Amino acid sequence: MTENEIALDERQKAKLMDTVEKLEQDTDYRVGRRFFEMFFSRIPCEENGFKGFDYEKLCAMVLFFAHESSELLKTKLMKLLNYSDMIFYKENGISMSGLKYAHLPYGPVPEHFDMLLGKMEAAHIAHIEVIYDNGYEKHQVIPECDMPKDILSQEELDVLQRIFVKFKDFGSVDISNYSHNEKGYNDTKQGEIISYSYAKDIQLN
């Protein structure tokens, strides 16, 4: 085998390895996306407010509340997201994020929310910081980047602002208790999805 043939052989091998690496990365990406879509449906239905799940929009919503609040706790964030989606649906016939909300002991919670937070943390969008205060464990939402431009419409931003102002002085316990009075929460059992059809019953006055 000549030197040229050995060099060619090495080049081909390097090219092949490069191709294999790219394929593996693409496969990881596709599998990751499929796994994600198993949990977060892109098919519009009443449970997601007739909107397929929109991850970018959710990230923008989380960053909006995290930047507006001086100390945003995870429990409160989940309720702010629920009220934002429900009120937007009530006024526009479609939800903002396409999230489904489940009935849990502390009020409505976005389905598989910890998975979403994990994805946001890995992408350096926002993360949860555990803070100990007088023996209590607080899970604070820390933004890691600015809110993206052009993801939310002015109508969506207006709803987020109204929800923020309404619950500005509510602690996590206060907003959880407040959410327990909603018809959608009272008409469902633990673990059940709260349909957006209940949005019409929400009064924030």
Looking at the structure, tell me whether residues 143 and 196 fall in a common domain: yes
Q: Is 119 exposed, middle or buried (0-12, 13-18, 19+ CB in 10 A)?
A: middle
Looking at the structure, tell me whether residues 163 and 188 fall in a common domain: yes
Asked if 157 and 139 touch (Cβ cutoff 8 Å), the reply is: no
Residue 39 confidence (pLDDT): 80
Looking at the structure, tell me whether residues 96 and 152 fall in a common domain: yes
Sign of CA dihedral 78, 52, 152, 183: negative
Looking at the structure, tell me whether residues 110 and 191 fall in a common domain: yes
Looking at the structure, tell me whether residues 161 and 61 fall in a common domain: yes
Is 97 within a domain?
A: yes
Is 151 within a domain?
A: yes
Residue 23 confidence (pLDDT): 66
pLDDT category, 134, cuts 50, 70, 90?
confident
Q: Which residues contact 171 (CB under 8 A, 6 or more apart)?
A: 73, 76
Is 133 within a domain?
A: yes
Is 205 within a domain?
A: no
Looking at the structure, tell me whether residues 160 and 104 fall in a common domain: yes
Structure tokens that stand for 35 in this block:
């796994």
Is 26 within a domain?
A: yes
> Averaged over 83-92, what is the pLDDT?
98
Looking at the structure, tell me whether residues 58 and 82 fall in a common domain: yes
The total of structural domains in the chain comes to 2
Q: Which residues contact 199 (CB under 8 A, 6 or more apart)?
A: 49, 86, 87, 89, 90, 184
Count of Cβ atoms closer than 10 Å to residue 196 Cβ? 25
Looking at the structure, tell me whether residues 158 and 62 fall in a common domain: yes
Looking at the structure, tell me whether residues 65 and 145 fall in a common domain: yes
Is 44 within a domain?
A: no
Least confident of 6-10, 144-148, 161-165: 6-10
Q: Under DSSP, is residue 192 helix (H, G, I), strand (E, B) or coil?
A: coil
pLDDT category, 5, cuts 50, 70, 90?
low
Looking at the structure, tell me whether residues 96 and 181 fall in a common domain: yes
Is 75 within a domain?
A: yes
For 3, the domain range is 1-39
Asked if 201 and 182 touch (Cβ cutoff 8 Å), the reply is: yes
Looking at the structure, tell me whether residues 136 and 175 fall in a common domain: yes
Q: What is the pLDDT of residues 20-62, one digit of tens each?
A: 677 667 766 666 667 677 788 888 999 999 999 999 999 999 9
> Averaged over 7-23, what is the pLDDT?
72
Q: Which residues contact 107 (CB under 8 A, 6 or more apart)?
A: 78, 79, 82, 175, 176, 179, 180, 185
pLDDT category, 17, cuts 50, 70, 90?
confident
- Per the prediction, the chain carries an average pLDDT of 90
Is 179 within a domain?
A: yes
> Averaged over 92-105, what is the pLDDT?
97
Give the whole-angstrom CA distance, residue 117 versus residue 55: 11
% of the chain residues with pLDDT over 90: 75
Looking at the structure, tell me whether residues 12 and 109 fall in a common domain: no
CATH code assigned at 144: 1.10.10
